[in-house]
A and B are shown apart, each in its own frame.
Chain A
Amino acid sequence: DAGVTQSPTHLIKTRGQHVTLRCSPISGHKSVSWYQQVLGQGPQFIFQYYEKEERGRGNFPDRFSARQFPNYSSELNVNALLLGDSALYLCASSQQGAGEQYFGPGTRLTVT
């Protein structure tokens, strides 16, 4: 079975632009979580979605938003990009809202 997949792999954007990152969970998994990993630090929780509903949100500004689709894939949107948004964005899926999370390879976003 395929693992968690994310697209694109790399992305370069300019300050002020908008970006959309995509994630496909493991087949049968109904929950998707998003994490931001700034260089040299551990991942920080951004959002969790379960059965297409937002279950939790980390300490991130409203410029960050996400949604989950009927097929359980998910998008993370970031508006008005700042240099500080440059990071590796990780998606993780799990069968239910709770339970072990499986991480994708990430999308590396560079904001110039």
Chain B
Amino acid sequence: GNSVTQMEGPVTLSEEAFLTINCTYTATGYPSLFWYVQYPGEGLQLLLKATKADDKGSNKGFEATYRKETTSFHLEKGSVQVSDSAVYFCALSEGATTSGTYKYIFGTGTRLKVLA
């Protein structure tokens, strides 16, 4: 079945460092891909998304490109801040019709800790 694999955390960086969180997926068809962020004690917030191959999603300085050839959707940010400390989840959509099940498959999450 479809699956998402994320790099294990925690990832610890100094403020202003470059961030990469790796995400690869296995899927039949052409799913949409997402990055969600979860701050302590909170639910999931959509960070960015891409709906087809070569699309680049971006938001708040974060970017990720949908790479069909490598089945990857790596999250990057050029300069992280302490406020970026959170857990990041990569996800794909499975099913795409209004008459069938449509659900998200999530990775296990990567905890990011940014030190001042």
A interface residues (Cβ-Cβ under 8 A, vs B): 31, 33, 35, 40-45, 48, 50, 55-56, 58, 88, 90, 92, 94, 96-106
Q: How far is the CB of B100 from chain A (nearest CB, A)?
A: 7
Q: How far is the CB of B70 from chain A (nearest CB, A)?
A: 21
- For B75-116 the 0/1 string (1 means CB < 8 A from A) is 000000000000001010101111111111111110000000
- Measured between beta carbons, the chain B residues less than 8 angstroms from A44 are 106
- A105 engages B98 (CB within 8 Å): no
B interface residues (Cβ-Cβ under 8 A, vs A): 4, 32, 36, 42-46, 49, 89, 91, 93, 95-109
Taking CB as reference atom, which chain B residue is nearest A9?
Answer: B41
- Measured between beta carbons, the chain B residues less than 8 angstroms from A58 are 103
- A106 engages B43 (CB within 8 Å): yes
The CA-CA distance from A99 to B103 in the complex, in Å, is: 9
Q: How far is the CB of B102 from chain A (nearest CB, A)?
A: 4
The CA-CA distance from A25 to B79 in the complex, in Å, is: 35
- Given contacts A90-B43, A106-B43, is CB(A56)–CB(B104) below 8 Å? no
Q: Tell which of B42, B95, B96 touches A56, judged by Cβ atoms closer than 8 Å.
A: B95
Q: Tell which of B44, B89, B96 touches A98, judged by Cβ atoms closer than 8 Å.
A: B96
What number of A-B contacts does a CB cutoff of 8 Å give?
72
- A43 engages B98 (CB within 8 Å): no
Can you show 29 pairs from A to B with CB atoms below 8 A apart? A31-B102, A33-B102, A33-B103, A35-B104, A41-B109, A42-B106, A42-B107, A42-B108, A43-B89, A43-B104, A43-B106, A44-B106, A45-B104, A50-B98, A55-B102, A56-B101, A56-B103, A90-B43, A90-B44, A92-B104, A94-B102, A96-B98, A97-B98, A98-B96, A98-B97, A98-B98, A102-B46, A103-B44, A103-B46
The CA-CA distance from A40 to B93 in the complex, in Å, is: 21
The CA-CA distance from A33 to B4 in the complex, in Å, is: 19
- Measured between beta carbons, the chain B residues less than 8 angstroms from A101 are 104
Q: Tell which of B42, B43, B49, B102 touches A97, judged by Cβ atoms closer than 8 Å.
A: B102
- Measured between beta carbons, the chain B residues less than 8 angstroms from A94 are 102
Q: How far is the CB of A42 from chain B (nearest CB, A)?
A: 3
- Measured between beta carbons, the chain B residues less than 8 angstroms from A55 are 99-102
